Amino acid sequence: MKANPDQKCSMTVVPKTAKPSRAEAEDAVRTLLRWTGDDPAREGLVETPARVVRAFEDWFAGYSEDPDEFLARTFEEVDGYDEIIVLRDIRFESHCEHHLAPIIGKVHIGYLPDRKVVGISKLARVVEVYARRLQVQEKMNAQIANCIQHALEPRGVAVVIEGAHQCMTTRGVHKPGVKMVTSTMLGEFRKNPLTRREFLAIIGNPASSVDD
């Protein structure tokens, strides 16, 4: 996938209307519970609206975080190291923006440093920020790659995502075991097939299980 390496890390999505209050959000959950045919006032469901809202605060915490902050601190004392750096098998949990169904999988990140490197936990943090938003996998893939390219200015960035989408495994066509694989290659990873091949060899078969 061709992405825009000059695009900055996006911090938040600005809604066109004011954010509802917690009470309004809980009322919306009660409406959905009634719509299913159940009674939100019964014992087993009376606390469900509050629990759902708290869960949403966790699942979608990425809207209040800025991925630029995680990549702001870099290191240059690497004794001239300029080969591929890869962080593979970064587990993520996201939600499909079309059905609010979970997307669970792995992200593999590689970059070719140009003087600057970053702590590896920060790359995982960037994945978390974008995963904890309503997503489509293709967009999340490009966002992660663009953010790393903008912040670190490496000679190239490669991001591969493997995701199991419960919007098609638990509803609709009901096809369990299906995984979607997407990739964004920037700089040398896009221009140089040998560099791209080296990265793909390091991360292994992208059809490996996301449940390992």
The CA–CA distances, whole Å, from 134 to 130, 201, 203 equal 9, 31, 26
The catalytically annotated residue of 138, 153, 167, 198 is 167
To the query of whether residue 188 is one of the catalytic residues in this protein, the response is no
Tokens coding 119: 């702590």
To the query of whether residue 165 is one of the catalytic residues in this protein, the response is yes
- In 3D space, the residue among 112, 115, 106, 123 whose CA is nearest the CA of residue 78 turns out to be 115
To the query of whether residue 97 is one of the catalytic residues in this protein, the response is yes
The catalytically annotated residue of 9, 26, 95, 96 is 96
The catalytically annotated residue of 7, 69, 97, 153 is 97
DSSP letters along 93-105, please?
EEEETTT--EEEE
To the query of whether residue 108 is one of the catalytic residues in this protein, the response is no
To the query of whether residue 98 is one of the catalytic residues in this protein, the response is yes
Are 129 and 70 within 8 A, CB to CB?
A: yes
Roughly what angle, to the nearest 10 degrees, separates helices 22-36 and 48-59? 120
Are 81 and 123 within 8 A, CB to CB?
A: no
Euclidean distance between CA atoms 34 and 74, whole angstroms: 51
DSSP letters along 127-167, please?
HHHHHTSEE-HHHHHHHHHHHHHHHH--SEEEEEEEEEEHH
The catalytically annotated residue of 99, 138, 153, 198 is 99
Euclidean distance between CA atoms 186 and 136, whole angstroms: 20
The catalytically annotated residue of 95, 108, 128, 137 is 137
The catalytically annotated residue of 24, 57, 93, 98 is 98
Active site residue ranges: 96-99, 137, 165, 167
